[in-house]
Structure 1
Amino acid sequence: MEAVLWYVLTGTRGGTNRVRILKALDERPRNANQLAGDLDLDYKTVRHHLDVLVDNNVLENSGDDYGAVYLPTDQARHHWETIEDIIEQVD
């Protein structure tokens, strides 16, 4: 999981926005529309990054597609120290 986190958050384009999304979701779960507004990002951009994070088991969603609320997976929480290390390097 640590290798996946480093790759998804630092090894690809968009890693900075994925870090911003994770930081926001650490504060409180939100849906894609709320994230787009709170982070001043395009909705489609946020959806793309959410899909990448879900596909890599970093985030999970609950609810229907449009209103789905996103939060870190248990596996991501287990490796949260690594995520914090990555956040420090990206910021």
Structure 2
Amino acid sequence: METQKITGQISFDSRSKYILVAASLTSIFKVFFLNCTNGQLYVGTRNLLPDGEMLPCVPNDLINLQNDSSDQRQDAMLLWLEEHAQR
């Protein structure tokens, strides 16, 4: 429900593959979206509401949705959480 509410304010396509995975409720409004198509995690910028501007949280070359040598998938959400835990 939160994904639909926020994406409606941002003017995403109703069939968008973005899902809201985290949001801050502090004075600095920050939201994180996972793109279910390409596995990238995005954070909204100050221009999120007026322009839909988001920045990727992980370099694209680190995302591995289909690894031929194993069955493991690594999307940006997993990589970001692993880095956050290490720090």
With normalisation by structure 2, the TM-score equals 0.25
Identify the structure with bigger relative contact order (alpha carbons < 8 Å, sequence gap 6+): 1
> Which structure has the larger Rg over C-alpha atoms?
2
More strand by percentage: 2
